């Protein structure tokens, strides 16, 4: 059983002031969209110039604050990703990618060249595995060139699905040197989810609560801040346990109130978005918390009551959801569930014919070859593990699975060996996040980077950035706890692993 403890947050006045200012600026930037006013070309170009310049200056002063603000801006950057992208032939650089590469460049110059103030961590097995992950995925580019799938698309997806998340992992591993910094980044993720929920509810209000339209449009153009309810679900299952942790344990009253509000909005969005995988994954996460997080049970029961009230309130519309499971006979082939089953079969065929993958974003190439007759079109495998294997190769998929195995093992080691309650609680909640992610990934799916099939090609990988952020947090906690134990055994081992 896991016991609860309060999250100890050291108040950083400058950090809170900066977060408040940027949140206010984001609301002002989003206001024209909320009011239905399109971006003026001059305003868009002004934003394209000011936003990178702001992050360059901020990164040079405080790289952690820049990372936190990037995470906070995720819904805005996702929503404007296509309209504000900089096209280069058929490839476009999205604002999200541009800012991330600014962070990478500033950090490289400050840490590698100037050797500035970061704590040195050992190179663990998971770090080596991530390097192999990058190399293995690179083979999909060669495969894409050989089988003549769109190479430019494969290249863009390789950068956004593999390179950027791995770089972000190593960036965070160097920057997050204490609990305060870890908590700051995690709470920024919670705030970003809250902003995404507000976007989704605004769209629901604009369509006057028509849940059938919400279902058919997958959340509309806003898509709960992640350009679609399915992709929003990937982020939601990762963030919900952390939101619960802050709502229950934070000593900061404002953080508790915000976390409770975000958690409630996530429940409403899960019910009204008709995302079956999200509902199943959240149910699994709540069950785990109910069974194993003993001190949090008194908070789980009111949550279950709120869910029941929401279900009763939307009971008529929810019948649409259950009707999607009851399509008998041949009509199952034109249903969403039937199409996903066929997509899994197509992925298994790709493994045999193209073991090094089709290249990122090229699942439709295989779908056109192997799909059944009269079935709805599918642009992805709708299974995160099969998607990785189909796009980046079987070996890359195996490495991705091993990454989760190592993360689960590190979480279990922390739970069994550390005496720090905060570290145990974070490890437990992230373990629940991983379980929810795997459950959601094997039912509804998602890709490491979602391709937006317009000209020029743009992508969206923010939910994978959140996943690799959790990877880095667990690796940091695991490293710190091993250092403590080895130091107790032999003080000479303080800087050795």
pLDDT digit of tens for each residue in the chain (497 aa)? 444 444 443 444 555 555 556 555 555 555 554 444 554 455 555 566 677 777 777 777 788 888 988 898 888 888 776 667 666 666 677 788 888 888 888 887 766 655 554 455 566 789 999 999 999 999 999 988 888 888 888 888 898 899 999 999 999 988 888 888 999 999 999 999 988 888 887 777 776 666 666 665 565 556 777 877 788 888 999 999 999 999 888 778 888 888 888 988 888 888 777 777 888 888 899 888 888 887 666 666 677 776 677 667 666 656 655 555 444 444 444 456 677 788 888 888 889 899 998 888 888 888 888 776 656 677 778 889 999 999 999 999 999 999 999 999 999 999 998 888 889 999 999 999 999 999 998 887 778 888 776 556 678 888 999 999 999 999 999 998 888 877 766 655 544 44
Cα separation, 340 vs 113, whole angstroms: 48
Q: At what angle do helices 179-206 and 229-249 cross, to 10 degrees?
A: 130
pLDDT at 226: 83
pLDDT the model gives residue 81: 64
Report DSSP state, residue 111: I
Distance CA 252, CA 234 (A): 28
- CB of 223 closer than 8 Å to CB of 215: no
Sign of CA dihedral 130, 131, 133, 138: positive
**pLDDT given at position 134:** 93
Interacting residues of 440 by C-beta distance below 8 A, sequence separation 6+: 233, 234, 237, 277, 278, 280, 281, 446
Q: How far apart are CA 470 and CA 196, in angstroms?
A: 19
User: Which of 450, 440, 79 is closest to 282 using CA atoms?
Assistant: 440
| Rounded distance between C-alpha atoms, residue 457 and residue 387, angstroms | 19
359 contacts 351 by C-beta, under 8 angstroms: no
CB-CB contact of 415 with 429 (8 Å): no
Contact 78, 227 (CB under 8 A): yes
What pLDDT was estimated at residue 473? 95
Q: Are 413 and 381 in contact (CB under 8 A)?
A: no
* Domain residue spans of the chain: 13-495
Residue with tokens 């960036």: 171
Question: In this structure, what are the phi and psi dihedrals at residue 226, rounded to the nearest 5 degrees?
Answer: -130, 25
Partners of 452 in the β-ladder = 458
The enclosing H or E element of 23 equals: helix 13-34
> How far, in Å, CA of 74 to CA of 284, rounded?
26
Element (H, E) at 260: helix 253-272
Residue 206 CB coordination number (10 Å): 13
**DSSP helix/strand/coil, 460:** strand
Q: Which of 403, 412, 416, 450 is nearest to 432 (CA)?
A: 412
Q: Could you write out the DSSP letters of every residue in 296-324?
A: GHHHHHHHHHHHHHHHHHTHHHHHHHHHT
The token duo for 472 is 């880095």
Residue 101: other Cβ atoms inside 10 A: 16
478 near 430, Cβ under 8 Å?
A: no
Positive/negative CA dihedral, 340, 343, 345, 351: negative
CA distance 112 to 93: 25
Virtual torsion, Cα 161, 166, 171, 177, nearest 10 deg: 120
Three-class secondary structure of residue 176 per DSSP: coil
- pLDDT for 492 equals 58
pLDDT value at residue 5: 43
Q: Are the C-beta atoms of residues 195 and 225 closer than 8 Å to each other?
A: yes
Nearest Cα to Cα of residue 126 among 482, 471, 495: 471
Cα(373)–Cα(92) distance, integer angstroms: 34
Helices and strands: H and E segment counts in the chain: 21, 4
DSSP string, 237-256: HHHHHHHHHHHHHBS-HHHH
């Amino acid at each position: 059983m896991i016991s609860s403890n309060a999250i100890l947050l050291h108040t950083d006045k400058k950090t809170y002031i900066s977060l408040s200012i940027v949140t206010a600026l984001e609301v002002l930037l989003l206001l024209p969209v909320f009011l239905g006013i399109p971006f003026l070309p001059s305003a868009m170009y002004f934003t394209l110039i000011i936003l990178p310049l702001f992050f360059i200056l901020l990164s040079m002063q405080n790289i952690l604050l820049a990372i936190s603000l990037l995470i906070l801006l995720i819904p805005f950057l996702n929503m404007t990703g296509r309209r504000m992208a900089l096209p280069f032939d058929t490839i476009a650089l999205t604002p999200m990618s541009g800012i991330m590469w600014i962070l990478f460049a500033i950090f490289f110059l400050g840490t590698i060249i100037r050797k500035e103030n970061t704590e040195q961590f050992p190179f663990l097995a998971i770090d080596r595995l991530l390097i192999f992950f990058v190399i293995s995925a690179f083979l999909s580019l060669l495969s894409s060139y050989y089988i003549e799938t769109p190479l430019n698309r494969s290249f863009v997806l390789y950068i956004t699905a593999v390179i950027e998340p791995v770089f972000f992992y190593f960036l965070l591993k160097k920057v997050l040197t204490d609990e305060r910094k870890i908590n700051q980044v995690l709470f920024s993720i919670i705030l970003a989810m809250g902003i995404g929920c507000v976007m989704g509810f605004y769209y629901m209000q604009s369509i006057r609560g028509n849940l059938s339209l919400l279902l058919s449009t997958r959340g509309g153009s806003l898509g709960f801040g992640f350009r679609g309810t399915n992709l929003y679900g990937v982020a939601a299952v990762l963030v919900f346990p952390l939101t619960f942790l802050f709502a229950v344990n934070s000593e900061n009253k404002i953080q508790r109130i915000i976390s409770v509000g975000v958690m409630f909005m996530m429940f409403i969005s899960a019910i009204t978005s008709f995302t079956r995988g999200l509902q199943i994954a959240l149910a699994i996460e709540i069950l785990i918390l109910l069974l194993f997080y003993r001190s949090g049970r008194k908070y789980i029961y009111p949550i279950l009551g709120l869910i029941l009230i929401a279900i009763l309130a939307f009971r008529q519309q929810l019948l649409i959801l259950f009707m999607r499971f009851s399509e008998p006979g041949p009509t199952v082939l034109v249903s969403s569930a039937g199409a996903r089953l066929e997509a899994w079969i197509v992925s298994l065929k790709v493994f045999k014919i193209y073991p090094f993958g089709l290249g990122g974003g090229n699942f439709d190439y295989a779908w056109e070859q192997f799909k059944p007759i009269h079935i709805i079109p599918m642009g992805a495998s709708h299974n995160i593990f099969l998607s990785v294997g189909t796009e980046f190769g079987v070996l890359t998929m195996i490495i991705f699975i091993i990454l989760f195995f190592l993360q689960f093992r590190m979480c279990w080691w922390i739970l069994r060996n550390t005496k720090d309650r905060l570290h145990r609680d974070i490890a437990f909640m992230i373990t629940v996040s991983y379980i929810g992610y795997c459950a959601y990934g094997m039912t509804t799916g998602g890709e490491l980077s979602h391709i937006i099939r317009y000209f020029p090609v743009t992508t969206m990988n923010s939910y994978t950035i959140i996943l690799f952020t959790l990877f880095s947090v667990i690796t940091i906690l695991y490293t710190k706890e091993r250092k403590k134990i080895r130091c107790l055994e032999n003080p000479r081992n303080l800087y050795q692993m």
